[in-house]
Chain A
Amino acid sequence: MIKILKYSFFDLMRSRWSYVYFAFYLLLGFVLLFLNTDVSKAVITLMNVVIILVPLMGTLFGVMYYYNSKEFIELLLAQPIKRTSIFIGQYLGVATSLTFSLIVGLGIPFLVYGIFKSDAILDFSLLLVTGGFLTFIFTAISFYIGLSNENKIKGFGYAIVFWLFMAVIYDGLFLISLIVFEAYPLDTFSLFASLANPIDLSRILILLKLDISALMGYTGAIFQKFFGTQWGVVIAMGVLLLWVIVPVFLIRRKALKKDF
């Protein structure tokens, strides 16, 4: 599996899109820090971008890479390698190279601006960790979608719709249900509703750490009331981890059954 991971990782590192992705974060970091010299404010702005963009990139790269490497997969399947190692190895290759671009791309500008001397170092690392989680989650899900759909167009469609649902539609539905069921106690409902969406969860996680109640919104406030900051962070991390493990498990199951 390590060998497959290595080949996928370096294959992607050589591709143009990884450079574009890396350059984008580099530019974003520098521009943000140039516009507001306060590092912790830059972290908040960055969060809003990262939380939407990272899942989108994870989704697109995941599904694209799966379809592009179909030939490679077929070649490997005839070799004495475990099936699960092929698929999990490729998935980890994509997810690590994306995370690598994210961390290095954002890390350089913040390093230049002296992140180590500021108090925001913990917040910034949390942002990177969440970004990493989101990459692993959405790449895994889009890989699974690719694996389940022979038809490229369909696979792409489902993957994009999934991202759109999680990033945009989910919040809309959530707000509507809050308004419609105003008369009822909605604490538990909204708590679970936010656990069920990794993007919401990441937002809450970062805001909890930053302790900005004004930005936290309804779910964030409930989250903090329910778990407290310390436990809130631990639980949110745990659920994010679960969001990685479950799709990886699904990939494994699908890979064992599929015919080529």
Chain B
Amino acid sequence: MLHIFDPKTQTDRDLGTPPPIESGHTVTLTIDGQSVEVPEGTSVLRAAAIAGIQIPKLCATDNLDAFGSCRLCAVEIEGRRGLPASCTTPVAEGMSVITQNERVAKLRRNVMELYISDHPLDCLTCSANGDCELQDMAGAVGLREVRYGYEGENHLDAEKDTSNPYFTFDASKCIVCSRCVRACEEVQGTFALTIDGRGFDSTVAAGQDEDFMDSECVSCGACVQACPTATLMENSVIEQGQPEHSVVTTCAYCGVGCSFKAEMKGNTVVRMVPFKDGHANHGHSCVKGRFAFGYATHPDRLTAPMIRNHIDEPWREVSWEEAIQFAAERIKAIQAKYGKDSVGGITSSRCTNEEAYLVQKLVRTAFGNNNTDTCARVCHSPTGYGLKQTLGESAGTQTFDSVMKADCIVVIGANPTDAHPVFGSQLRRRLRQGAKLIVADPRYIDLMKTPHGGEALHLSLRPGTNVALINALAHVIITEGLEDRMFIAMRCDSGEYAAWNAFIREERHSPEATEAITGVPADKVREAARMYAEAGNGAIYYGLGVTEHSQGSTMVMGIANLALATGNIGREGVGVNPLRGQNNVQGSCDMGSFPHELPGYQHVSQDGPRKAFEDAWGVTIDNEPGLRIPNMFDAAIDGSFKGLYVQGEDIAQSDPNTQHVEQALGSLECLIVQDLFLNETAKYAHVLLPGSSFLEKDGTFTNAERRINRVRKVMPPLAGKEDWQITQDLANALGYRMDYNHPEEIMNEIASLTPSFHSVTYQKLDELGSIQWPCNEEHPNGSPIMHEVDFPIGKGKFVLTDYVPTTERTNRRFPLLLTTGRILSQYNVGAQTRRTDNQHWHGQDWLELHPHDAEERGINDGDWVGLTSRAGNTVLQAKISTRMQPGVVYTTFHHPVSGANVITTDNSDWATNCPEYKVTAVQCEKVAQPSAWQERHRKQHRKQWSLLPKNAPAELVE
């Protein structure tokens, strides 16, 4: 059954102008005889809307600053001359406003008459019919005739721009209200749109009067959202008409966790509209969440369970019962032959909390071991380890909104405008307000060129030298006396601080001494350290450029040291903020997916928490940690690990050293893959269980700010089952009883066993909209900012962070360093986004290299380049770019055929085994044909595709 959830809250209404900056004072005025008390600085338009009085408007909307161009919101104010625009007029004490009388009505009708005289009168066939503010306002002002006629000069024949695959720009319907231009500037921060020409010739133009696709437009949809007419309209609405109901849910792309209204016609999603009351995104979106949802109904979706005895055999479509039975019998047989520890499971960071919880529960109960892990292993496991060691909790410390109070923002190894675009926009908003920016990254990222941004410093370090840099920054802070002594004395362990202080003061950590290691000039390091320490509020944001190194965990602890030393913890505007990659990386970690931890980061060796789980689950839980993903691969190749259940993760594409992973997967006697598509891993599978997309199930995701958001089912699962149901069936077939009727029951169990979730309920999530954990007796409504008073471990811990160079080094054979990353339009392994029109932006992975390195090798833009490392070789097309420093090359890993991970090695973080994706020594040369691995991959892809049953999807997405 579908539950419609469409709250008509105050915040979902358009109040015309944004709330004012808080001053703590209120103003009382009279509007249409009604006394209204509002915060000082509120516009008359907003004050009226709060009082329930709707003043007609066109250019005003409450997520954009007042503009005062349409003149429709004119009102009469006692004692003032003329008819001022209510959107740009702030309230004043004792003011008396009249919003309706013959004088203002006449003005509004005249204004509307002018608009309509140059607007097509095709309302009945217009795509905005039923959702057009111009139409509504014509009705509201009572426009009955257009005295000017329609014959004069007009824009009715203006050409449509259909270059963007997701929306159409129909200039003939434009009223030049500038909402799109302002949304692009104020909400998105790209400044791709402008008003070209003057007076009657004014038109909206993208870039230098280019097509939308050729301009800097990033297709975030903010302009489409802002447009009051059909000028900017989703193609899906043009094709299908207006939606008839909507359900609020959470995006399944990155770790920002944007809330969306899935606007529906029956079981079909017409469009995804960013939800204004979404606590992570406040009504903004990116090209992925807003538009790239077509994968959910792509013909490639697996819709029937399939089994086979051997990976060279054709797949056989079978019933759910037979597939589950087949899987269970194989697992049982393997355990009988090789022992109970010979099997394991991987939970998905794309599935819900409830689903991740259930998979690890299945492993710990039905499998009877702790061999559970999650894709966080290969991204943020060092965050979990490092922050637990230093701050006592494996999570970021802030809300996203906290950045609006930051004075200096440090971004390390992250590219927010591509990988976390909605947060990237918020960050840019703060930079436009004057916050200073420090970027530590081997690559020049777009954040550095924020239009109208303030001071920005780029520390372009050599890949693999993060720890040397963070130590140098700390050295400056301590030796120049920039530390926050009060905070250190009050909040941190004094003995550990004294040891760290002595350590970090050593000359070997000085910027001058580390310059030769990092490549960053000492004076720049000193400048950055001063900027951060003296800013007032210094906030650090970091991504996989921190964690995916052999010293990933050390670097996370180094970041925490820096924040503790400067007192930048425990209030708004500061903090240590990991930017999580996938939608539910935080959640899958919280849910006990790691082999050494039960839900809530409770180590399996701790008797108390383990007993609570044993009592609730009715089994004995192993008190020893299980195997991590790389350990599973090693054990598989070694012959002691034979069965694996993978929920929604494509380890064959996403994990490093592909040939090693392929060898491991090929060694398994039973690989059960539960996924939406025949992904790379599924090619090695014996059982394929078709999973459900985020649109097809209920549950929760937890984003990078620990925010638990509801995922709500908007359509039935394509293959008949939600992912949690599949796991439950498998557990039952293995002989461990699970009988949940709804994910809510799973969440209740999670809450009962996990101290930081004790007070989380679906009812509370509906009431509050979202909850940031810890949410328990102490924090009944959640905890936006952590460590305000103390740390879960009492005092903050300083940790010694010696720089230990990676063993992955350049030499004459491999003189370049490869580092990998993401791009805005694609997501992770691309399984979802490659099956959408996002392909228009990034249809293949490119090898970016510096002109100097290209010239030395005779490589030109667009040449095919062989890329060789100690692990393997592949071929990519070259893109010459000065974003990279000489000696460093870069690629993304969104397309399987690129084989980016054929190149990456099995080096990993010392503490967590998180792969060292960011540093691989390579050589490049011009080539004429694909690599041997790519040839093999193509052949295998064709073969595996041919093994699908006849009624399987015909289209082949490589």
Q: Do A and B come from one complex?
A: no
A residues near B (Cβ < 8 Å) are: none
